[in-house]
Amino acid sequence: MWVKLTTRDTENYVAISFATFLTTNNMNYLRELNNFQIGFTHAFDAWMKNKEDILEQGYCLFTSNFKLFADLAEPFFFAFDVFHLKDMQNAPKELYKWKIFSIAFSTLKGDLQIVYLKAMTTGVNRLGSASIKEGVEIVHNTLLKKPSLHHKLVCAIANKCAANMTAISYLQSMGIPVIYDLNHFTNTMKRNNNFEEVFNNLFMVPNFNKSNFLELLGKTKDLVEKIVPEELQHRYFDEILSVECMLKRLFNAFPQWNMQLFFLNSNRFELLGAKLCNELHSDAEEGFFKINDLKKPQIAIKFIASLTTVKVHLINLELKKNRKWIQEFNQMMDEEEAPRPSKRPKWNTDTVEEFFETHLAKEGGGKSSYSVVEDADDDEEEDYLRTNRI
């Protein structure tokens, strides 16, 4: 199998011998993997060599992928998450468990690129709040050096678990709102014995624009006070404030834009994370079986980081190839929906106004709370992270 790898520094996609240009020790380790027959361009080989210092620390920053979003005249957000690999059975015990922290940029129309990764084994160092904040800060500082691109950043999307809170606080201090993506917020409410329907309606129904967003959010606050248990209302009000800050950033940069919150999610990013971990695991297992040097933790970290970097580069290339199809699909959907009522799912009503009227006009009803049966797990972060395992 031959796969052509390139960077923005070259338009020459000539595949060359894998053996010829894997000159560094760490790249030679990759060459020993049976399923890793990849042809590199000169530029990509040089690019990997230039990344050696940071790969030794277990991370890689894909600054060339920022250009895609700089060239687009539309808003974008970034999502960050930690993905768990299955245990490495062929590795020494202290190198069994590995995590990949990743950050991706995405437009509201589906263009997505992974721009940062960090690989770490729990036997050497904990990939916790400090490492997550460090990665987020590296990416944000890079954006700050590109003011026109930073201006188009509307928010970050993340699970608001304990491990992410230091990074979230940093972003908020820099004026970047962080939205609790809908799936994780819904699961958090379930663990608190509350069936979440307010935000599911808010994310699915309203079409926000500059003239109506404050009114819609105000009605949402009224709805929270009516049907959400009092002890959980602060979670909703915090999220509504984050959404308000996000929409203000959006309409400041793009006054004519309109959107549904549904498109602010990390679903596709998480699917890519699952794909990445699945592909990494088999190659890494083979590496630990064949390469004796990988018993040394620092060499193992650089090896996993390098392997992850190449895999991410391939994923990003595939995403770029799919851009044209996504754009054509979005255009087709716009044309299909333009002359007829929206076919997007609506939970309780046909219009935004009816939704609020239906819920806010109820008389005498107290706050509703619903018991949800699920496996008990007091560790919110671990319960969430388990969903990212392959």
In a domain, 39, yes or no: no
In a domain, 5, yes or no: no
Range of the structural domain that residue 317 is part of: 51-386
In a domain, 3, yes or no: no
In a domain, 12, yes or no: no
For position 257, what pLDDT does the model report? 94
Output phi, psi for 310, to 5 deg. Answer: -65, -45
Write down the pTM of the prediction. Answer: 0.77
Nearby residues of 227 by Cβ (< 8 Å), 6 or more positions away = 197, 198, 359, 365, 367, 368
Please determine, for residue 175, whether its predicted confidence score (pLDDT) is greater than 70.
yes
Residue with tokens 């929270």: 224
Lowest mean pLDDT of 22-36, 59-73, 107-121, 130-144, name the range.
Answer: 22-36
Please determine, for residue 349, whether its predicted confidence score (pLDDT) is greater than 80.
no
DSSP alpha helices (H): ranges in the chain? 18-21, 25-31, 42-50, 52-55, 66-71, 129-144, 147-150, 165-173, 182-191, 198-204, 213-227, 233-253, 267-290, 297-337, 352-360, 380-386
Characterize the bridge pairing of strands 178-180 and 153-158.
Answer: parallel
For position 122, what pLDDT does the model report? 82
For position 19, what pLDDT does the model report? 33
Please determine, for residue 348, whether its predicted confidence score (pLDDT) is greater than 80.
no
How many alpha carbons fall within 13 Å on the CB side of residue 114? 30
Nearby residues of 105 by Cβ (< 8 Å), 6 or more positions away = 65, 66, 68, 69, 76, 77, 78, 112, 113, 115
Please report how the helices 182-191 and 233-253 are oriented relative to each other, as an axis angle in degrees rounded to 10.
Answer: 170
Which structure tokens are listed for 238?
A: 């915090």
Which is it for the CA torsion 36, 42, 44, 49, positive or negative?
positive
Q: How far is the C-alpha of 229 from the C-alpha of 371, rounded, in Å?
A: 12
For position 60, what pLDDT does the model report? 96
For position 338, what pLDDT does the model report? 57
For position 165, what pLDDT does the model report? 96
Please determine, for residue 111, whether its predicted confidence score (pLDDT) is greater than 90.
no
For position 32, what pLDDT does the model report? 77
Closest among 159, 265, 253, 250 to 204, alpha carbons compared: 265
Closest among 234, 237, 239, 190 to 369, alpha carbons compared: 190
For position 354, what pLDDT does the model report? 52
For position 197, what pLDDT does the model report? 87
pLDDT over 90 percentage in the chain: 50
For position 113, what pLDDT does the model report? 95
In a domain, 26, yes or no: no
Mean pLDDT of 331-351: 53
Closest among 196, 195, 244 to 219, alpha carbons compared: 244
Lowest mean pLDDT of 71-85, 145-159, 211-225, 331-345, name the range.
Answer: 331-345
Q: How confident is the model at residue 35 (pLDDT cuts 50, 70, 90)?
A: low
Domains identified in the chain, total number: 1
Nearby residues of 255 by Cβ (< 8 Å), 6 or more positions away = 210
In a domain, 19, yes or no: no
In a domain, 45, yes or no: no
Residue with tokens 């193992």: 300
Lowest mean pLDDT of 169-183, 241-255, 342-356, name the range.
Answer: 342-356
In a domain, 21, yes or no: no
For position 353, what pLDDT does the model report? 53
* Average per-residue pLDDT for the chain: 80
Mean pLDDT of 203-220: 91
Q: How far is the C-alpha of 381 from the C-alpha of 140, rounded, in Å?
A: 24
In eight-state DSSP terms, residue 261 is G
Please determine, for residue 9, whether its predicted confidence score (pLDDT) is greater than 60.
no
Q: How far is the C-alpha of 382 from the C-alpha of 345, rounded, in Å?
A: 31
In eight-state DSSP terms, residue 296 is S
For position 10, what pLDDT does the model report? 35
